[in-house]
Structure 1
Amino acid sequence: MRTKWATWCWPIKFHLCRPVGRHINMKTPLKFVHTSFHGVGHDYVQAAFKVFGFSPPIPVPEQKDPDPDFSTVKCPNPEEGECVLELSLRLAEKEGARVVVATDPDADRLAVAELQDMGRWKVFTGNELAALLGWWMFYCWDKSCSDRSDVTDVYMLGTTVSSSILHSIASKQGFHYEETLPGFKWIGNRVKSLLDDGKTVVFAFEESIVSAAVVVAEMAAFLDSNRVTMEQQLETIYETYGYHISKTSYFLCYDPATIRRIFERLRNYSGPKRYPQFCGPYGILHVRDVTMGYDSSQLNEKSVLPVSKSSQMVTFTFQNGCVATLRSSGTEPKIKYYAEMCGSPGQGERSFLEEELKKVIDSLVENFLEPSRNGLICRCV
């Protein structure tokens, strides 16, 4: 009879362990630090690393065990960046570990940091991790498949607020990329539907659970065996498929009526039921409002995506190529924004894209969110 750990680990071993990396995992000199932010992830991450042939990751002792007060961190969300990883980075430097993986209290979010030259830490954004993991999962599939023509049955999935980097990789490599609405129920149902149809889903970009942490470790070990860092590989991905510069952040708003008013103003910006045509100096090409089922890019102006009235979500496609989404959180008192500018493969235009993206975001916040007027609280980190 299987123990609970054997029962839990078996599907991870069966579905995720690949011959590409296991022998490397067992010999890698890389050390890993893991923090579970006072949550439930510690035991599961330890077990997953063992299944993949790694030495156990070094736990952050102050944050290893469940603590409902989250006493060592102001905000137990690894997505907040370097400021919440202080204990992890300090321990990594002490132990000579080059990679930190952090899971939030319920272990469905992941952050990754990598030590660079001169002692600098690179904390990857969620979209950067998607680029790396998408590249890695396709690389592993490509190495293991016997017939390259099978690529037409390969899929990756993301959400409407994710980076389009996976779409760019798919366009060049020949597999399929699909978008769903944000939320595990949407992407999970689509994954199941594709699997039921006999398709191969190598990567879906929404929730990480525990598996992503150990797959990141596997990828890092493989790259290290080739004397490449994850940051260097990310740069290679951008050079190959085009720079995808994105920014995700939020404002706190504790008044639901204010949130509704902000979005209703956008829906009647240029008159009754007329969405904005400009945001400051930036012309708007298309507007998609999945809350109302509207999409100006479609001939019938109806959204291809399902109508979802559970939260507010409006996406603007600008004439300069920027795509930006304003969305209310379904679980937190936040208005989130997601914005991205994409370049062409082989074009070294990163600094231009970064500058242009910042200008669009500043205009978006000033003209559409109006933080001072609406009493919005800026993200503090």
Structure 2
Amino acid sequence: MCDSNQKIINLKCEVTDLVYNKFSTNDETLDPIIQNYLKWEKIQSNREHIIALVRRRDIVTLKKMLLNRLEIIGGVIKGDMIPGYNGMNDLVVIQTGQGLLKYLENVDKANLREFGIVIGYDARNNSKRYAELIATIFVVENYPVKMFCKEIITPFVSFTVTKYDCVAGIMISGGVCPKNVNGIKIFSSNGCQVTPLMESEIQKFILENLEPQQHCWDTEILEYADLALFSDPYEEILESYIKLVNNIIIKEYRVIASKSPIKFVFTALHGVAYDIFKQVVNNLCVKIEPVPTEIEPDPKFPLIKSPNPENPLVLNKAKNLAQKSKLRYVIGADPDGCRTIFSKLRIDNITWRTFDPNELGALFGWWVLDQYKKKKEKKVDLKNVYMIASCVSSKILRTMAEIEKFNFVETLPGFGWIANEAYDLKQEGKEVIFCFDDDYGYMFTDELLDRDGIIASVQIMTIVSFLNSQQQSIGDKLDEIYTQYGFHINIGSYFTAQSYEVIEKIFDEIRHHQQDNVQDKLEKSCNCAFGHYENPNQIIYPQSVGHGKFCIDYIRDVSVGYDNSQPDRKSTFAIQPDMQMITFLFINGINATLRMNPKEAKLRYCAELIVKKRSMSISNGRRLVSEVIHRIICDFINPTKNGLSLRKY
């Protein structure tokens, strides 16, 4: 009781201080924001944190926390769970929820009233709390909310939006980020992540509705809400999802997988995938052995520092269990069930081969096309069939499409672009049977317009079982695919910078490149060398790398909308001023891309060369790609000069 009285006294003192402007930094820009923040923030520990900074006159930290606001990027608002507007916390979640509600009222109030929204959450700290805060905002305004009663995988939200015609979907999840990060992923009424245009509109409504309504903090309202307003879709969605997985894989292959003696080790990386994955594989009668220390959701991620499938260390526990149990195959899903990773014990019974995202994309492309042809039984017409990949993924699907006579579409990086393209094609009566991005994200049906790690894992298990019945290994099958369509040699990684401004400067220097005196070494066919892009900013792209050794034929720069492979020199992709991305096509056939996502302090690079065995050996092809990458890094990126560090794994 005494503690409670003391808190009331402290709060009254703070209010008095606010009235008399005792919490002042003498900064005309900062002080009004501090006053509003302390007036709106209800979490006492967060208030105390800001007050302590004010009293210490820590202006730099205060500006970082309060003048910078988390923004929607790639369909997600994401940040460290810290006080202030630049972090994920109750106040920022409420402001986001209020802005989203006003946006949805503006675009489709009638359907919002009838069908409402769906909300899901993972097992991270505060995820359920954030979900309840947003649900409260909508329920109080008498808009229906379907909120899952337990932790779910992110694809369930997309699936629920389309199944129940919801106006929007919200998933509270930190994805593959470290444990201190959380986020809000937003899906539109088509089941896809919101587009950049929608992002800017939602952000505008957030900024217009910053002051929390009084009811927003009272999540107890949900306990007494009518079922028509607040319901749990979990059981119905799980049942429908299991049926969906069954329908994706043809019966012949399901039967083979169910009879296969092969057992797979599975890890959920302390995320939410195992419970759903177990029910799916039990229905398919496929055998798994879970990693017992990693299958239960744990927001602390005690055994994994970075729960990202791109980190090869995430499978260490699973590999140890496999070798102990005399098993050869390991599968992992990321913490929110969006991505999958797969590794196979080599014939030496010591080392492992972990398949990279492009290799899995090649295997899935072959597998999905094979099943599609078998489903149709009669002569198959592929004129209406599509596969999609991002422009930084391997071109293997494009090569398959050219030979097999189906259609291929390339998009900007990110599954929001891929899924929305798939939706548009579906609206035109087209069939999209497979999509992938270069971050272990795969989509196998246009009934669920998001990447799905559980469906991808099941596909891998079925592929391995089928190939085993044919006395063939999955590695041999991949070689067979590359022999048929060309070996797609792909190399990529990323550098980390101190800030994204450093990387923006690197791209600016590329656009105003000071070419060495190599004019005489360059051939006239080098379009970039003798046809500079004319514009007021005097952009002059590089002509080559390695002092003229590797000549650049074409350049595409989506940040300014330039592409000199097109007749009008305009990129077929929409201009993305906030996304730094330049692609170089070299005369030797290598396609290389440098890119940085908005507000991200990572410079990603990738390069690919398609090699036919008769034209060049695979080893020589790898050496050539490696040398071009090395020259690009030296000529354009200059890690030492710019203080960049290479990815550690």
Equivalent residue for 1:6?
A: 239
What is residue 479 of structure 2 aligned with on the other side? Answer: 235
**Does structure 2 retain, via aligned residues, the 8 Å contact 1:238–1:345?**
no
Tell me which amino acid in the other structure corresponds to 1:24.
I
- Larger RCO (CA within 8 A; separation ≥ 6): 1
Of 356, 361, 386, the residue aligned with 1:155 is: 386
SS at match of 2:382: helix
In the TM superposition, residue 96 of structure 1 has moved relative to its aligned partner by 2.4
Residue 222 (str. 1) matches residue 454 (str. 2): no
Question: Aligned pair in 2 of structure 1 residues 198, 38: CA closer, same or farther (>3 Å)?
Answer: same
Which position in structure 1 is the counterpart of 2:29?
none
* Residue aligning to 1:276: 542
Query: What whole-Å deviation, never above 9, does each CA across 1:60-106 have from its counterpart, x for those lacking one?
Result: 1221122223221232111222x331111111111222211111112
1:41 matched residue in structure 2:
273
Larger CA deviation: 309-318 vs 367-376: 309-318
Change in Cα spacing, 1:330 to 1:42, as seen in structure 2 (3 Å) is farther
Contact preservation (8 Å) 2:249, 2:371: no
Higher alpha-carbon deviation: 325-334 or 68-77 = 325-334
Q: Is the 8 A contact 1:17 1:52 kept in 2?
A: no
> Amino acid of the residue matched to residue 243 of structure 2?
W
TM-superposed deviation, 1:4: 4.8
TM-score norm. by structure 2 comes to 0.56
Alpha-carbon distance, 1:38 to partner: 1.2
Alignment-derived partner of residue 374 in structure 2:
143
Of the candidates 93, 102, 123, which is equivalent to residue 354 of structure 2? 123
Shift of 1:323: 0.5
Judge conservation of contact 1:242–1:346 (CA < 8 Å) in 2: no
RMSD, aligned α-carbons: 1.8
Alpha-carbon offset, residue 316 of structure 1? 0.6
Look up the equivalent residue of 1:253 and give its one-letter code.
A
Partner SS, residue 177 of structure 1: strand
Residue 260 (structure 2) aligned to one of 6, 28, 33 = 28
Partner of 1:100: 330
- Distance verdict in 2 for CA 1:332–1:100, change over 3 Å: farther
| Farther-moved stretch of structure 1 (139-148 vs 292-301) | 139-148
The DSSP-based 3-state class of the residue aligned with 1:66 is: coil
- More displaced 10-residue stretch of structure 1: 235-244 or 57-66: 57-66
Q: Unpaired runs of 5+ in structure 1?
A: none
Can you list the C-alpha shifts for 1:311-353, whole angstroms capped at 9, x where unaligned?
2111010111111111113475311111101112666621111
Give the Cα separation in 2 of the matches to 1:52 and 1:373. Answer: 55
| Whole-angstrom CA distance in 2 between matches of 1:8 and 1:140 | 20
How far residue 116 of structure 1 moved from its aligned partner, in angstroms, is 2.1
Name the residue aligned to 1:306. 574
**Contact 2:398–2:408, Cα closer than 8 Å, also in 1:** yes
Which stretch shows the higher mean deviation, 214-223 or 200-209?
A: 200-209
CA 218–136 in structure 1, closer or farther in 2 if over 3 Å, else same: same
Partner of 1:246 in structure 2?
490
Secondary structure of the residue aligned to 2:324 is helix
Residue 84 of structure 1 aligns with an amino acid whose one-letter code is V
Q: Does 1:52 align with 2:284?
A: yes
Q: For this pair of structures, how many residues does the alignment match? A: 378
Task: State how far apart, in whole Å, the 1-side matches of 2:552 and 2:615 are.
Answer: 25
Asked whether the equivalents of residues 31 and 96 of structure 1 are also in contact (C-alpha less than 8 Å), the reply is no
408, 414, 432: which one pairs with 1:201? 432
CA contact 1:20–1:140 (8 Å) conserved in 2:
no
Name which of 323, 341, 351 aligns with 1:111. Answer: 341
Q: Aligned equivalents of 1:109 and 1:248: distance in 2? A: 18
Matches within 5 A, 1:271-350: 272-280=538-546, 281-330=549-598, 332-344=600-612, 349-350=617-618
Alpha-carbon contact 2:500-2:599 (below 8 Å) kept = no
Tell me, in whole angstroms, the C-alpha distance in 2 between the residues paired with 1:69 and 1:369.
36
Deviation, structure 1 residue 256 = 1.7
Q: Is this contact kept in 2: 1:241–1:346, CA < 8 A?
A: no
- In structure 1, the partner of 2:32 is none
Please report how far the alpha carbon of residue 165 of structure 1 lies from its aligned counterpart in structure 2 after TM superposition: 0.9
Q: Is the partner of 2:556 in helix, strand or coil?
A: strand
Task: Determine the C-alpha separation between the residues in 2 that align with 1:45 and 1:370.
Answer: 44
Counterpart for residue 98 of structure 2: none
Q: Residues 66 and 51 (structure 1 numbering): CA distance in 2 closer, same or farther, change over 3 Å?
A: same
- Matches of 1:268 and 1:225, distance apart in 2: 57
Contact 1:100–1:113 (CA under 8 A) maintained in structure 2: yes
| Separation in 1, partners of 2:356, 2:500 | 28
Taking every aligned residue pair, what percent have the same amino acid on both sides? 35
Confirm or deny: 8 A CA contact 2:583 2:593 kept in the other structure.
yes
